[in-house]
Structure 1
Amino acid sequence: MPIRALAILTTITVLTAARTLAQTYSPNYSVCLQTYGIDGNYIECAYTSLAQCNQSASGRAAQCIINPYFASAQVPREPNRRHPRAY
């Protein structure tokens, strides 16, 4: 009986555990804060502008970087120009 209870408890724990992101960069924000420390470095993508990130980085061993995986990033297109033909 204890083995059955342990198996049920383990199954419930695994199924209800919160999912974690495998990515370092969150695709929801355009700017990330990269922090350096004795315990290790980490990247936190939770900023919408460089000014907002710079306020958090002020006075710390940190720098703000542009998120290369930002979901709303778009590649600029060339303007649609019509060139007159010269004959």
Structure 2
Amino acid sequence: MRKTQLALLTLGATVFAGFVTVTPAAARDYPWCAQGGEYDYPGECAYSTYEQCQASVSGRLLYCGPNPMVAYGQAPQPQPRPHRRARPVAPY
């Protein structure tokens, strides 16, 4: 029984770690976005072609629009990292 609990705990931790490492911002590099309804601007930008987007929004009261990050060449800027201050070394 103990081994089963440990195995389930390990499996749960592995699945949780997989969800934590997923980066949804990577999906914003596609040229077409499903827009409207439950999506904020610019929408769900996960479609390579207009036809893929149209197939996905069909029957969902959404529409397809260009991804502004791709259409206007506005690549997301990386956030500056804060500088780390070195601790002064105490003389011995």
Q: Comparing both chains, which one has the higher relative contact order based on Cα–Cα distances under 8 Å and sequence gaps of 6 or more?
A: 1
Report the TM-score, using the length of structure 1 for normalisation. 0.43
- Normalized per residue, the structure richer in helix is 2
Report the TM-score, using the length of structure 2 for normalisation. 0.41
- Normalized per residue, the structure richer in strand is 1
Q: Which has the larger radius of gyration?
A: 1
